[in-house]
Chain A
Amino acid sequence: MQNKRAFGLIFFSIVILMLTFGSIIKWFQEPGTGEHAKVYDNLFLIYWTLGCIVAVTVYGFFLWLVTTEVEVEPSDAPFLGQMPIERGNVKLSWSLTVIITVFLLVLSSVTFDSIKFFETPELEEESFTVQVTGWQYYWEYEYPNGINYTSATDEPLRIPVDTPVVFEVIGGDVFHSFALPEHRIKVDALPSRPNIGWILAEETGTYPIRCYELCGADHAVMIGELEVMEKSDFDQWYSGGGAQ
């Protein structure tokens, strides 16, 4: 009886574990904004659904396996000094190998389009490149026309809405990582070599910019702001040489 109770508890907890995990990860995931977030959130949904299916299947399989419990000790039970008994089905494991491999290859090939989208900026005529430099512990922005300021002055990084903008990101001193969490964009800022990222913002507003690589004692305060502006407002600010 004790045996049954312990085993019931284990199952119960595994089911709870799966349900909690499955639901909670979606609760926290707030919808992002912009073109990248759409691609990413879609992918996340695919992975999340498949992950839940796999987990439920495997846990279910395990639950079923344990219900096949027998009363008499099985004939291949290990005993002291015995050479290990070989059992198992090679054909079954090969087919499982093929199934898992194909499943994963299909899954990753689905993501290849998205990777391409993240890699290649879809440039338009009014696109431009902002040079972003990470310093301990602020971001420096430099626009093509020479406007240059830093997030230490509490000024936001300004970009126009509905326009692809490229970020050329480099670390000024140490390794930083430039990220716009709500747009699902992240570019590592290595001190030796610039990396490229791009954004197509679809809604005006202000969003946080954070550093995602430990860069020193005040890593936590390395927060900037992104301001997505109406095109006309941005043009006015930009052509005015950065004056408010």
Chain B
Amino acid sequence: MKRLLAMAILVLIAFAPTMEGVSNGIANVDSGCTCHGGGSASNDVTVTITGLPDVYNGSESYELTINITGGPEASGANSGGFNLHADGGEFVSLDNHTRVIDGPNKGIEMTHTLEGNDVREWTVQWNAPLDDTDDISFKVFGNAVDGDGLNSAGDLWSSQEILVEGLNSDGGPIIDFTNLAWWLIVLTILGLVAAVVVLMVRNPAVDKKTVMHWLTTTNHKDIGMLYLWTTLLFTIIGLALSLLIRIQLIVPDNDFMTGGLFNEAVTMHGAVMVLFAVSPMSFAFANYIVPLQIGAKDMAFPRLNAMSFWMILFGGLVAASGFFFGGAADAGWTFYSPLTSIEYSPGAGISLAGAGLVLLILSVTFSTVNFLVTILQMKTPGMPLMKMPMFTWNILFTVILMLAVFPALMAAVLMLVGDRVFGTMFFDPSIDGTTWWLHIFWFFGHPEVYIVLLPGLGMAMEIIPNTVRRSLYGRKIIIYSLVVASIISVLVWAHHMFITGINPTFRKIETIGTELVSVPFGLIYLSLLATFYRSKPDWKKLPLVFVTGAIGIFLVGGITGVYLSSVAMDVNLRGSYYLVAHFHYTLGAVAVMTLGGIYYWYPKMFGRMMDQKLGMYHFWITFIGINLTWIPLFGLTDMPRRIYFYQESAGWEVAHLIATIGGFVVFAGQLLFFYNFWRSMKHGEIAGPNPWNGSTLEWTVSSPPPPHNFDHSIGHPFAQEGE
């Protein structure tokens, strides 16, 4: 009974944000009238278009009249305005009251002029397109203004949408490639089918496990496998979204996507990649490998572990479901207030993303507790803390950081959802909610970077010593460096807000703090390099190749990061493509390290090696692709990030062309990887328990390991006591 109640409450929390916001009177509005910032949406105002036919003829002209009724009394001067948009055809202005808006929508968007501001009725001409097979949708925003000429709260607006059929219309295109929801439905279905097939049919690690088994499993290895599949699925979604972004930017003035759609793609790319793909990816390995590495039978709380997984899966799906409910979150993955408020983002997208994040954070918090107890309490006797394997050490620091900062995000998201659903005013601009959001978000957001990085570093620290046949250089130095790095990382959040008007002295402290982060990471980096001294590297081993590539990429990300730590440089580089290139270099390095980790532990998980030759091709394609994508974009120090088109005069097209090619190269490489992953499950070389000459405990058991890890082990050095 208690359990049922708890579940009911969770479901309520998850779906509360989808309920209609209270402060907005009009449903289904994408964005408000683009002028007169002080106005608000209201049912009192009615905007109509007359003169539109039910069915239009190709290339015929129609005279349309836009009329606004209701709202504040018209005063003669400054009475109203409108914005009219159509999917096709061409608008022509008939008098000086209206004008056609320039830009990528040229011809299909109109608004009023300064003269046209004094009336509430406008007449314009619409020339239907030559080809009358498409349905055309018209959207009009009307603004009734109270005449004081100010952006005051008395101004009210409203909108209307009309669909006009073409004479030879066949009901519109069946597949709309510019519709993100379509892409996501297809990808999600494909991903889920692949996941089910691989988990249930093809997986050699599994003997005829049923659907029920996967739904109810609490075995850490099965949950690790589920995490791996879920995060790979989210990675594909994130990659696909990034390709849409790259297609949009390939040429100047591209009209592949609209601004709103582009913002959804950008936001969901960031949120899915950072929060639902890369950081839970570390949990995939942490779940599978950490109990094995420390000689434990399972996680400390197996059922909590299963719950964490299911919450992360549904969290991600809830966050992405916005695409099917009138638009996903579109305010950037940083969700800067007040763009996220119900006033500026009336759709359900941000509330849904908030609900998804709540589930994610609960899941992460359960996992951190679980890992802390497992790592600190369930080590096999004879393994002191300082002798723990490096991957486990890194996971320990990761979960400690998570426990420190995810509650801040929880607070922020709950306040944001409160603002949107219940009309609380935590982030209201009148009490400087914008700065408040920045502080609280980046207190989470900066350590999140290290949360993403540390598991990757841990993989590198496992892979390098085993494949170059020398012990890790400076083990203790690395561990202490990680302590220092973790502490500094929670103190330097304000470097994300250098020019938001924070105190100059505070800025200097943060500059120095940020630069000091490079000291521990410099030491870790150099220790990793020093391990290569007088070693015997085997460059045929894929994990080593990937980690070396990641080391090369990471240095570029690190050095370009130092530029940004200086306030004077940040003034120009903030919000530009240079910044985007910088963090994609660091995260790209993490992704390549993680790929190395997959190649490293794949034999343990599936009992077979991945194909070496295909893996080499995968590495080179990925490595070249990443550099091809991001090196040119370093140069665009004057291009704002997240803009959905740019003019030809800006001179950015060469860099974007190269970057788009690079993006497709990376994607092609990953297809090769998935093929290799899939093929090797059945046709890979049999691996045996220890294919890499590893020294840690996971290599003492068979591949894949027996259900309870060490039950059948043949008396390895630290076999668990009791049981």
Measured CB to CB, the residues of A under 8 A from B are 2-3, 6-7, 10, 13-14, 17-18, 20-21, 24-25, 27-30, 39-40, 43-44, 47, 51, 54-55, 58-59, 61-62, 65-66, 68-74, 76-90, 93, 96-97, 100-101, 104-105, 107-108, 111-112, 114-115, 117-119, 135-137, 152-153, 171-175, 177, 179, 181-182, 184-188, 190-193, 195, 210-221
Contacts and interface: CB of A to CB of B under 8 A. Distances in A.
A111 B567 contact: yes
A213 to B, nearest CB: 6
A24 B631 contact: yes
Interface of B: 30-32, 34-35, 37, 103, 114, 151, 258-260, 263, 266, 330-332, 336-339, 344, 387, 389-390, 429-435, 465-466, 469-477, 499-501, 504, 507-508, 511-512, 515-516, 518-519, 522-523, 525-527, 529-530, 532-540, 545, 548-549, 551-553, 555-556, 559-560, 562-563, 565-569, 571-572, 574-576, 616, 623-624, 627, 631-632, 634-638, 640-646, 655, 690, 693-695, 697, 699-700, 716-718
Contacts of B515: 104-105, 107-108
B530 to A, nearest CB: 7
A213 B640 CA distance: 8
- Determine which residue in B32, B522, B571 has the highest number of CB atoms from chain A within 10 A of its CB, and name it: B571
Contacts of B559: 51, 54-55
Contact of A220 (B259, B389, B567, B695): B259
Contacts of B527: 88, 93
Given A214-B263, A219-B263, A77 B470 contact: yes
- Those 7 A-B pairs whose CB atoms lie nearest each other, nearest first: A28-B635, A88-B474, A212-B575, A78-B695, A220-B643, A181-B638, A6-B539
Contacts, number: 330
Contacts of B473: 87-88
Contact of B530 (A6, A65, A70): A65
B432 A44 contact: no
Given A73-B469, A74-B534, A219-B643, A10 B339 contact: no
Contacts of A174: 336, 338-339, 344
Contacts of A195: 499-501
14 contacts: A13-B552, A21-B556, A69-B534, A74-B469, A78-B471, A84-B471, A104-B516, A104-B518, A153-B114, A175-B339, A186-B572, A191-B434, A214-B332, A220-B259
Contact of A58 (B535, B555, B632, B634): B555
Given A88-B475, A214-B332, A219-B642, A184 B572 contact: yes
Given A17-B553, A193-B435, 12 more contacts: A10-B539, A17-B552, A17-B631, A21-B631, A43-B566, A74-B535, A77-B469, A84-B389, A100-B519, A175-B336, A184-B572, A219-B642
Given A6-B545, A188-B499, A190-B435, A70 B623 contact: no
Contacts of B560: 51
Nearest to B472: A84
Nearest to A187: B499
Given A88-B527, A96-B522, A177-B574, A28 B655 contact: yes
A165 B189 CA distance: 57
Contact of B103 (A80, A213, A221): A221
Contacts of B30: 217
A105 B512 contact: yes
A7 B549 CA distance: 11
Nearest to A10: B548
A69 B470 CA distance: 11
Given A177-B574, A188-B499, A70 B535 contact: yes
A191 B338 contact: yes
A193 B525 CA distance: 41
Given A61-B529, A136-B34, A177-B575, A93 B539 contact: no
B699 A108 contact: no
A90 B518 CA distance: 18
Contacts of A187: 499
B275 to A, nearest CB: 18
Nearest to A212: B575
A7 B548 CA distance: 10
A172 B259 contact: no
A98 to B, nearest CB: 9
Contacts of B501: 188, 190, 193, 195
Contacts of B553: 17
Contacts of A215: 339
A194 to B, nearest CB: 8
A72 B632 CA distance: 43
A186 B574 contact: yes
A92 B717 CA distance: 34
Contact of B504 (A21, A66, A115, A217): A115
B537 A66 contact: yes
A214 B518 CA distance: 29
A38 B432 CA distance: 34
B536 A69 contact: yes
A176 B208 CA distance: 56
Nearest to B690: A80
A190 B430 CA distance: 11
Given A66-B532, A186-B499, A81 B569 contact: no
B470 A74 contact: yes
Contacts of B693: 77-80
B505 to A, nearest CB: 11
Nearest to A176: B339
B514 to A, nearest CB: 9
B331 A29 contact: no
A37 to B, nearest CB: 9
A112 B695 contact: no
Given A51-B562, A58-B555, A221-B103, A186 B571 contact: yes
A50 B103 CA distance: 41
A18 B627 CA distance: 10
B637 A28 contact: yes
A135 B37 contact: yes
A217 B474 contact: no
Contact of A213 (B336, B433, B519, B533): B336
A186 B575 contact: yes
Contacts of A210: 638, 640
Given A3-B540, A88-B475, A220-B643, A185 B259 contact: no
B465 A78 contact: yes
Contacts of A83: 387
A209 to B, nearest CB: 11
Nearest to A51: B559
B565 to A, nearest CB: 8
Given A119-B504, A187-B499, A188-B499, A70 B534 contact: yes
Contacts of A40: 568-569, 571-572
Contacts of B337: 175
Contact of B344 (A65, A70, A79, A216): A216
A22 B553 CA distance: 13
Given A28-B636, A81-B716, A3 B631 contact: no
Given A51-B563, A55-B555, A97-B519, A84 B258 contact: no
Contacts of B574: 177, 186, 212
Contacts of A80: 690, 693-695, 699-700
A242 B185 CA distance: 55
